[in-house]
Amino acid sequence: MPEGASVMNSDEMLATTGGRELERIVYSAERIAARVREMGRDIGSAYPEGTRLLVLGLLKGSFVFLADLVRCIALPLQVDFLVVSSYGLGTTSSGDVETLYDPGTPIEGRHVVLVEDIIDSGRTVNELVPELIERGPASLEVCALLHKHLADDLVLEPRWVGFDAPGEFLVGYGLDHAEDFRHLPFIAAI
């Protein structure tokens, strides 16, 4: 185990989850941290030195990932957020992507990285990418922590993917179920 790594015992785990059982831990906090560092380096090296990136995070799920990721990108950057919803209280996408908050950040002529927590049905990416392209960015790339590879018709495949995700419903590290579990330092199946 890496130095400084911590492992929760079952009592601590139940306390952290409000007494709700997790099926299994899919990605440990240590494994996530290592992969996020790699992704940050990859993103930083993909653009010419001095490029000012605009990193757009999709809230709420991407906030933990985005916070860790931007600290690993060795370029000047700005961060903004979009809020969309397609899940509600369920464990499957409703199929309807609703934009709840669009800051209208000027992106014309800018290099934009859209940060997504998980790509499963692909509806969110397919809804947002054309809207963002209409705003005239110099470039637009997608970065996803998790990719389930369920969508075969993505309008833009993610350039950077943290992990190929299993078909289970995942929580933790920003991902939720009915707004619970976002605070977990690892990703688990429920």
Residues with catalytic roles = 120
Buried b (16+ CB within 10 A) or exposed e, 87-98: eeeeeebeeebe
Which of 186, 150, 188, 151 lies closest to 64, judged by CA?
186
- The conformation of residue 169, written as its DSSP 8-state character, comes to -
Q: What is the DSSP string of 87-117?
A: -TTSSS--S--EEEE------TT-EEEEEEE
Who's near 34: CB < 8 A, 6+ residues apart?
Answer: none
The whole-angstrom separation of Cα 55 and Cα 111 is: 9
- Decide if 94 contacts 88 (C-beta within 8 A): yes
Two structure tokens written together for 26: 């899919």
- Decide if 22 contacts 189 (C-beta within 8 A): yes
